Amino acid sequence: MAVKNIAVTDTIETFRTTFNDMAANDFGDIANLSGSITSTNLVDAMNETISIATSTAGWTIEDSSSTQQLIGGGDILRVFGTSNEIEAVVSATDTLTIGLPSVVSITTSVTAPTVTGGTIQLTGNTITATDSTAISFASENLITTGTINAGAITGTSITGSGATHTLGTIQISGNTISSTDSSEIDFDDRVRATSFYTNTALGQFFESGGYPRIESNQTGGSGTFGNNLLIMDANLFINQSHAVVFEGDTADANTTTLYAVDPTGTNQLNLPDETGTIISTGSTDAITESMMANDSISSVEMKTLSTLQILNSSGTPLKTIHGAGV
């Protein structure tokens, strides 16, 4: 069917003959239209024909926006899924199944009152486990730029960004733990550490060789024992059945133990205001002449031996007494 065109320079006769030819040959004679068609113009007749065709051999598909597409006899409706989002499967007989794959990827967001994946449930801002009271992140890192509020946080390693981190009123900055509201930190349980140092490391409490040990790193003193001093502003009380053990100059198996015999009263031993050596009952040749005052037994009296014998009537000695002095 050729395109009919009437130029602006054509005559009325040309328009008449062209129009009649188009009506007779292109549109056809209305008298020849099937009696089942009730329309009286071409457009309505075509629409009526389509309606009749789709009602017997076709159908119309429509989406949520009311957009329609006619599916006529012999046409193919193709339904495509999107990888990792939706699947469309055609099966016998005349069945189209639309569902989600085992792995779903959503590029924007999912909105639902409650989302459950396995035993993990998301409701609002809350993540819970449907089968227990604990959620495990296995060996993965949990990273947040916000605040974590929890009754208890446990883990092999908890790492945060930045120089300072605060838990309640406890502040951690590098290797320093401090309190944000006071100058004191209270531990309600035992604290165990490899070593404890004083604030400038002059004192240290640690274990060595299977023994607890207190060590002083103080320097700058004078005299034989002027360094490594440990000052105690307290009375040292040694509990029952315990003693003070001295190693001496050599670290070996030999020691000197200072032990108090079970007292029967409140006894006191005073150390004199002098330099010297303490003499015990086990001392031998410990007393020298210089240790005796002028008004004590003189050296002459000590060096002269006098003997007193007590004899019986027959002249036999019953007792002999040796003494120093004349």
Q: Is residue 123 part of a domain?
A: no
List helix spans (H) across 121-267: none
- E-strand ranges in 63-210 read 68-71, 87-91, 95-99, 114-117, 120-123, 126-129, 164-167, 170-173, 176-179, 195-197, 203-208
**49-83 as b/e, with b when 16 or more CB fall inside 10 Å?**
eeeeeeeeebeeeeeeeeeeeeeeeeeeeeeeeee
Residue 175 lies in a domain: no
pTM equals 0.44
pLDDT, position 105: 82
Domain around 319 = 294-326
Is residue 246 included in any domain, yes or no?
A: yes
Q: Which of 239, 262, 285 is the last residue of a domain?
A: 262
Which tokens belong to 231?
């000052």
Q: What is the total count of domains within the chain?
A: 3
| DSSP assignment string, 155-175 | -S----SSSEEEETTEEEETT
The C-alpha atoms of residue 85 and residue 80 are separated, in whole angstroms, by: 11
Q: What is the pLDDT of residue 294?
A: 64
| CA dihedral sign, ordered 150, 151, 154, 160 | positive
Q: Is residue 100 part of a domain?
A: no
From first to last of its 326 residues, the chain has per-residue pLDDT tens of 677 788 889 898 988 888 888 877 777 777 777 666 777 777 787 787 777 666 666 677 888 899 988 777 667 788 888 888 888 888 888 888 988 888 888 888 878 888 888 888 888 888 888 887 788 877 777 777 777 777 777 767 767 667 888 888 899 988 889 999 888 899 999 999 999 999 899 999 999 989 999 999 999 888 888 899 989 999 999 999 999 999 999 989 999 999 999 999 999 999 999 988 888 888 888 888 777 766 666 666 666 778 889 999 999 999 998 877 65
H runs (alpha helix) in the chain: 12-21, 42-57, 299-303
Instruction: Say what the pLDDT of residue 238 is.
Output: 93
To which residue do tokens 């060590």 refer?
Answer: 215
Report the distance separating Cα 189 and Cα 209, nearest Å. Answer: 26
* Residue 217 belongs to some domain of the structure: yes
Domain assignment of residue 174, yes or no: no
Domain presence at residue 42? yes
Tokens at 17, concatenated: 């003959």
223 part of a folded domain? yes
